[in-house]
Structure 1
Amino acid sequence: MACARAYRDVGAAGSVVMVADEGRMPYRRPPLTKEYLRGAVTADALPLEESGWPAANGVGFVAGRATALDPSARRIGLANGRELSYANCLLAPGARPVRLPIDGADDPGVLVIRTLEHARDLVDRLQPGHRVIVMGSGFVGCEVAASLSRRGHPVHLISDEPLPQARRLGDDVGRRLRDWLEADDVTLALGAAVERVTRAAGELAVHTAAGSARADLIVMAAGAAPRTELARSAGLPLHGGAVPADAGMRTAAPGVLAAGDVCRAQHAIAGRSLHVEHWGSAIAQGDVAGRTAAGAEAEWDVVPGFWSTIGERTLKYAAWGDGHDDVAQTYGADGAFTVRYRAGGRLVGVLTHGHDEDYAAGRDEIAAGAA
């Protein structure tokens, strides 16, 4: 959608067709693990544009799955046998949720959450008093655990991390996230990897080396993997499991661009390629791709960042995301804090809670330090 919008914004008049295997117009995914799970918003609040926007802007929509891409012929094959020709094609298939390679991971009571259908399925299955186990202490796992607890369900979060997000954000932040989750009545079992899932008498159990926990439903929040099938069918190279692209989102194949989770793009300011799995970066990259397709000069130059709301507390994070060697914290009133991440003396990341001015200033400093 960001690509189509940008393409039209610069005055390009070529035909535009979006192919979506979910069968619906693009929508906002971040609320799925927060407001939608809590019941604060419905699916009607999620679309990126009003229902009349595509027709008003000459954008077609095909509900279906692309199964083949031929860059030499500039044709796309769909699962229903239809073929589409193109001058420029944007690959933005996103990512799929990962299921851990453990016994019981394919039990029908083990759910994942990535799409609206996933979130709707989870909500539809929940009955009053149902116990839920969340596997994983990444942002998705923490958000889901807090949201379901606020719906009134007993929630158990299990993770091999000794503290939530400690590997990425540091122990101090991990302790704060732990405290936030416990304040939302989430029971934590940290520091032991899940070994298997079993079912007996209609009850699910998750087993670790430290013990077992039982539930009616399980949400596996074990990360996501780029959907590269279409890129592979086109013979595109992969780097670290993602499709390389330049700062204008061009891939190695003429006329084929990439954006979002599937893409590892050159960042114009960072001076290196980055694989960023954040909503805001996907939107920014899609915008660049649309301008590139229209023949305009455009580069991905926005410092990657995102927000995460756990219960009622929001973290704001901006970073290059590829490592740091120093961490410094500052604290304010009412639990507010700022964490600055540096590498080689330069600011490469900033994380804030309740310090919006630090977030904005930090993002500017990150960009300036890399220039």
Structure 2
Amino acid sequence: MRSKARRGYSDVVRASGLIAVGSGPAGLNAASAFRARHPRVPVTILTADPAMPYEKPPLSKEFLCGRRSDIDLRPADWFARHDLDLVLGITVERLDVDNREVVTRGGRRYPYWHCVLACGSSPVPLDVPGAGNALHLRSFADAVALRMAALSARSAVVIGGGLIGCEAAACLASDGIATTVVAGEPVPLLRRFGVDAGERVAKILSDNGVRFIGSAEVAEIDDRGVTLATGEAVDGDVVVAATGVRPDISLAVEAGLRTDRGRIVTDEHMHTSASDVYAAGDVALAYNVDARRHVAAEHWRDAARQGMIAGETAAGYPRSWDDLPEFSCTIGTSTLKYRGWGTSYQHSRLVDHRDGFTVWYEADGEAVGVLSLNADEDYQQAAGLVRAHAHIDG
């Protein structure tokens, strides 16, 4: 599917300009920012996803619960009105930095002046017998399949205690489905936010009707549910594999771009080690001016901002990434908010409030993040503390 008609293209698309690989917020914002500066230079967005660009955060919340159906990132006619060539359902197989071409499956070549890699992430596969019986929740198609399966389900098992798994579990439980979360860690979100926060999240799940089984290993999945390594059977008409995602950096690796920690290394302008190639969103390990180091940002707002910076810089108007990453996670009626560098921390301090809590995170004597529930004053204060590399008074 294409947003507008081609002009006699064959195996080689002769028009050069900016190519964005990926139709999420990073790819779309890169294309939009570049187009705003150069109204007549060709801009192409290539994506393997067959669906029109959509928001992903609602997939595990409002969309799955049936409370929202309109999740388009842009109206259908927006691409034609801005003269952006959107090509859906096409797989990019190779980035040829020597010839400055993007090569797709089937051998079609797209020459570029500038290329933005915004390939996003792919689900980490679940390696157990019967894994094919589990549904994922990464794409619009995944969300539709899960929503349809849930209509006739009386029980569900969500494998994984991360953000998406917790959101999806609470959503399924809200529909009257007996839902269980099975995780390898003793509490949800342990690796990201620590034991104290995890215990609070476990209570939030329980308050929303979700059973949590921690320190558990899945041995097998079948059409009745999940069998744990202990032999315990957990009923699930629907099984969801929320086992995390992995940035899709295969194009960069094969092209010889510099990578580190499973991501593409960029400077503060989102420029990679290859000439006129940029990276944004999940795949990027970008230098953050305020953090004074490279930061992996994995969420929607960060991807949108990085895409805009890449597009502006490619257009000849360099911008620098200095934003403080932030995101929210809604589990039932509870919305957790995080603001910080997302790096490992050495110390954490939890403060309980009447109807919520705050967890402060510190590394090398500096504030690096805060997680809060119903504590907006702490959340706002954290922005200044983290940016200033301040010490958190206990």
With the shorter chain as reference, the TM-score category is over 0.9
- 1:348 is aligned to 368
Unaligned runs of 5+ in 2: 1-27
Q: Secondary structure at the match of 2:152?
A: coil
**Identical residues among aligned pairs (%):** 35
- 2:204 is aligned to 180
Q: Does 1:69 align with 2:95?
A: yes
- Taking the aligned partners of 2:304 and 2:53, their CA distance within structure 1 comes to 11
- 1:338 is aligned to 358
Query: Alpha carbon RMSD of aligned pairs, Å?
Result: 1.7
2:369/2:386 contact within 8 Å kept: yes
- Taking the aligned partners of 1:27 and 1:171, their CA distance within structure 2 comes to 34
Q: Secondary structure at the match of 1:170?
A: helix
- 2:79 is aligned to 54
Moved more, 237-246 or 355-364: 355-364
Q: Does 1:235 align with 2:253?
A: no
* Letter aligned with residue 172 of structure 2: L
- 2:321 is aligned to 300
1:134/1:157 contact within 8 Å kept: yes
- Taking the aligned partners of 1:292 and 1:12, their CA distance within structure 2 comes to 16
- Taking the aligned partners of 1:251 and 1:277, their CA distance within structure 2 comes to 18
1:92/1:258 contact within 8 Å kept: yes
- Taking the aligned partners of 1:171 and 1:291, their CA distance within structure 2 comes to 41
- 2:21 is aligned to none
* Letter aligned with residue 86 of structure 2: F
* 1:151 positional shift: 1.6
- Taking the aligned partners of 2:97 and 2:321, their CA distance within structure 1 comes to 23
- 1:110 is aligned to 134
* Letter aligned with residue 54 of structure 1: F
- 2:301 is aligned to 280
- 2:11 is aligned to none
- Taking the aligned partners of 1:73 and 1:122, their CA distance within structure 2 comes to 42
* Letter aligned with residue 28 of structure 1: E
Q: TM-score by structure 1 length?
A: 0.93
Q: Does 1:197 align with 2:220?
A: yes
* 1:304 positional shift: 1.1
Residues 174-230 of structure 1: CA distance to partner in whole angstroms, max 9, x if unpaired?
Answer: 111111111111111112222x2143xx42333233723121221011110111222
Moved more, 236-245 or 143-152: 236-245
2:153/2:238 contact within 8 Å kept: no
* 1:5 positional shift: 2.1
* 1:358 positional shift: 2.1
- 2:8 is aligned to none
Moved more, 167-176 or 137-146: 167-176
- 1:23 is aligned to 50
Q: Secondary structure at the match of 1:36?
A: coil
Q: Does 1:120 align with 2:120?
A: no
* 1:145 positional shift: 0.5
* Letter aligned with residue 74 of structure 2: E
1:110/1:217 contact within 8 Å kept: yes
* 1:262 positional shift: 1.2
